[in-house]
Amino acid sequence: MTSALTESRAAEVPKPVPQETGGPLSGRLVVDLSRALAGPHAAMMMGDLGARVIKIENPGTGDDTRGWGPPFVGPEDDPQATYFLSCNRNKESLALDLKSDDGRTILRQLLERADVVVENFRPGVLERLGFSTDAMHAVNPRLVILSITGFGHDGPESHRSGYDQILQGEAGLMSLTGSGPDDPQRVGVPIADLLSGMYGAYGVVAALLEREHTGRGQVVRTSLLASLVGVHAFQGTKVTVAGEDPEAQGNHHPSIAPYGLFRCRNGSVQISVGSEKLWAAFTSAFSIDPGTEGLATNADRVRNRTRVIEVVEAAFAGYEPEPLLAKLAMAGVPAGKVRTLKEVYEWPQLASQGLLVDVEHPLLGSVTLPGPPLRFFDNVDGAESTKRAHTPPPLLNQHGDGVREWLAATEVD
């Protein structure tokens, strides 16, 4: 009901005129057929890079994430989910029923003009709608198609529905996260979704670059499973090369010590002693004998982790967190605190890196969103060329009339 109200209110919003906004993907058109998080995140990354992104949503209900909450903000009769706001900036919204003749016709017209399509349907769904990869490439051979699934597009478990919570367990990430092997924990954000979106956007950019040489588009496939296996890093080679099965070790690094969270008076701090030079600096600052038996080398310290934690926390026992961080900084030892997210977004360093963007939302007014993580600089004069003008996540079908008018007024090259 609220989504339908949003759609009606969207019709009252003045139709924006698409503009060149700058960025490496300026002039590219992305058709975002995806929903939830993995695909929308990939498409948002392309929008952050300057592409025009048209998000296709179901009439009346829109993307699933429009209903994921609380928290909701805005009018009581038309609340907006902050989840949706997190992954749909720099997009236009067009509501299409892809089971109708009109919906399929409009989508086909968009495909004729598009550079990229993003989709995360279950395998076979697009084929049943008449938009298989072959069919889309028949419409536009230069089209780059990003397809994201849960467990992969083929193989014995390709049929399974993929959700972040499930994949964090199935891909082994939860076995590495938590206080110990009997305490598996999920990462506090949908990391499989986010990583598959990032890998997908990376693949799209590579395919667009290759298209400059071949003149042809191609299909880029990734999955939540692949994205998590792709970041196993040294934990993966511990299995494939060393034949070991890693376990969760809480807030301490499995291959470096001391490297983790350590208690002090009335709090805790994190330190990263990643080299023997840093170990020497650390032990000098806190009057610890660097050659103590069992602690002389990193390999020794990893084998004797419990003893290392005891020694470090004994040295920290007399310090409050802030004076301790100052002492560690003077010694040149990398250290930090554990901030709440509220503290992070109030941190001046975030604003200095462009990680906060202000947009004008048609229902919410001025809102601040987490910003894109990339910055660009000219190699001649060093001037920053990062895209600065961002648009808010759209209301459902906010741009429907405008997109249809644009299609009617333009011809395919």
Distance from C-alpha of 56 to C-alpha of 63, rounded to nearest angstrom: 9
Report helix, strand or coil for 310.
Answer: helix
Distance from C-alpha of 146 to C-alpha of 207, rounded to nearest angstrom: 10
The residues, ordered by sequence, that sit 6+ positions from 3 with a Cβ below 8 Å of its Cβ are: 60, 61, 62, 66, 67, 396
Task: Give alpha helix (H) positions in 373-413.
Answer: 400-409
Q: Which of 78, 115, 164, 193 is catalytic?
A: 193
Q: Give the chain's radius of gyration (CA, Å).
A: 25
Q: How far apart are the first and last CA of the chain?
A: 40
Backbone dihedral angles phi then psi of residue 221, each to the nearest 5 degrees = -120, 135
Distance from C-alpha of 113 to C-alpha of 411, rounded to nearest angstrom: 8
DSSP state of 121: P
Return the structure tokens found at 82: 């902050």
Closest by CA position to 194, among listed 233, 227, 147, 236? 227
Task: Give alpha helix (H) positions in 241-370.
Answer: 276-285, 298-303, 305-316, 321-331, 341-345, 348-352
Return the structure tokens found at 356: 């906060």
Sign of CA dihedral 82, 87, 91, 94: negative
Q: Is 193 noted as a catalytic residue in this protein? A: yes
Torsion of CA 364, 370, 374, 376, to 10 degrees: 50
The residues that are catalytic are 193
